[in-house]
Structure formats: structure tokens, C-alpha cells
Amino acid sequence: MLSISVFYWRPDHGHPQYEPGTLSTSTVSQHLDLPTASRATGAVITFPTKGFNRLELGYWQTYASGSIRAPEPLNLFGANLKKGDLIATNYKIRNIRLTWNYLTYPVPAFDAKLRIKTFWEAQYTHVVPYSSFPESSDPTATVGNKQSVIWPGAGIGFEYVPSKRFRMEGHLSGMAFPGRSRYADAEVTLVGTIGHVEIFGGGKAFHFRSSPKVPDSYIEATILGPMAGIRWVFK
């Protein structure tokens, strides 16, 4: 059915990090842990398609900022830092996905409580990281490199429907190739229905890595945490 939902996610476990690219020639470390995000917000619109399937268009974004002392000598995008130098960092992550949620078994579902889904999708993740050095000779200087991950992906999921007013949903999808960018997306929620309104809550996890084939640093992250939201279903 056609529906619109909004959700709030606290990805307070895990954080992005800089890692040295495979084309790097630096003899100095290029690894740096970035701050942990405290919250993310998102929305999903679903459209009915032929049969018992639906098309989902989703979006979420998160951001964080913080300051640390360099734990060791670092080279960040050409900036050379000594151990103990102050680093102010911030970043924003945006994700857009288009997913075909396909009922695979049983078809039609009728009164089956357990339903198996397959997911066919494309996901785009864009990361905008910046770092500055307040104690340097040029405190206004910033370094960073916008990076993106875009892949078609596939996955599997389930619905368990013990009653008309309650169900459990979950899915895992992603795509990866050795030596290239990758992503993985997982979610498990409990859903309660009252008329046109669905209230859901559970957990969400997301992993991504930009391409490591760069001369500077690439970004990798695994973030996860609780989520909750509300959905309006046009019946």
C-alpha cells in the first residue's frame, strides 16, 4: 500500500574513521577515528507495484563534530600533524536508497504468518568530512575529501505477522567487491497498527566503505543503534 513514514535513529555505537588508501606513499599514519554521531533522521515512501510487492524510496542523514588530540604523527590529506596536535573534525553522511521489496514466499501470502522477502535495490551514500587545526599557524585551514558509495544491491528479509495489529519485520542487504567500495544495511523492527497509523521501533545498522584506491585517506564506518518512527498508510 502507499505509505509515508518518518523515523529517528540513534547511531551511537560505532563511528567513521579515516584509513590510508592503497595508493598512498606516506610513511606517516593516515588513520584517525572520527566522532560518534548522536542522532539521525529519515523518511521512507512506499508505492504499491504489481502483485504483492512494493517500491520503497528512503532517505536518512546524520552528522557529528568534535575535537581530539592526534594520538600519533599523522598525515591527513597532505597536512602533517605532530602527536598531541589539536584536531577539530566534523562530518555529514547522507543515504538515499531505492528498493523493490518483493514477496518471495508464500505467494500469495493470504493468512501465512511467516513471509520471506527479497530486496533488489540501489543505494547512494555521500560523506562530507572536514578537519581543521585550531592551534596551527593557519587555524582557518581545513582538509577533507567528499566521498561517495553507490552500488546496486540485493538482500533478504522476513515478515512475521501473528495478528492484524502487530508484526515483526527485518532485512539485510548490501553489495561488496574485494578492493572496492561496499555497503551493508540491516534493520529489525516491531510494528503496531492502529487504523491508518503504524508505530514501529527496533534497531538499525549500516556499514559503508568508500573506495580504498586513493592516494590519501578513505572513509569506513559501521554504525548502529535503536530507532523508532511512525507511518501513515493510505488504505
12 φ/ψ angles, rounded to the nearest 5 degrees: -95, 15
Which CATH number covers residue 27? 2.40.128.90
Q: Bridge-partner residues for 38, per DSSP?
A: none
Q: What type of residue sits at position 25?
A: T
pTM: 0.93
What is the predicted pLDDT for the residue at 141? 66
The answer to whether the CB of 177 falls within 8 A of the CB of 166 is no
Task: Report the 10 Å Cβ neighbour count for 83.
Answer: 10
- Position 138 scores a pLDDT of 61
pLDDT single digits (tens) 27-52: 899 999 999 998 999 999 999 998 88
Contact 14, 224 (CB under 8 A): yes
Residues pairing with 66 in the sheet: 89
Cβ atoms of residues 230 and 199 within 8 Å: yes
Q: Is the pLDDT of residue 119 over 90?
A: yes
Number of domains, the chain: 1
Residue 52 has a CB neighbour count (10 Å cut-off) of 16
In terms of residue numbers, what domain contains 42? Answer: 2-234
How far apart are the C-alpha atoms of 219 and 210, rounded to whole Å? 6
> And the C-alpha cell for 114?
511467516
Other CB atoms within 10 Å distance of the CB of residue 25: 7
Tens digit of pLDDT for each residue in 185-209? Answer: 999 999 999 999 999 999 999 999 9
Q: What is the pLDDT of residue 206?
A: 98
pLDDT grade, residue 77 (50/70/90)? confident
Judged against a pLDDT cut of 80, whether residue 23 lies above it is answered with: yes
Q: What is the per-residue pLDDT for 205?
A: 98
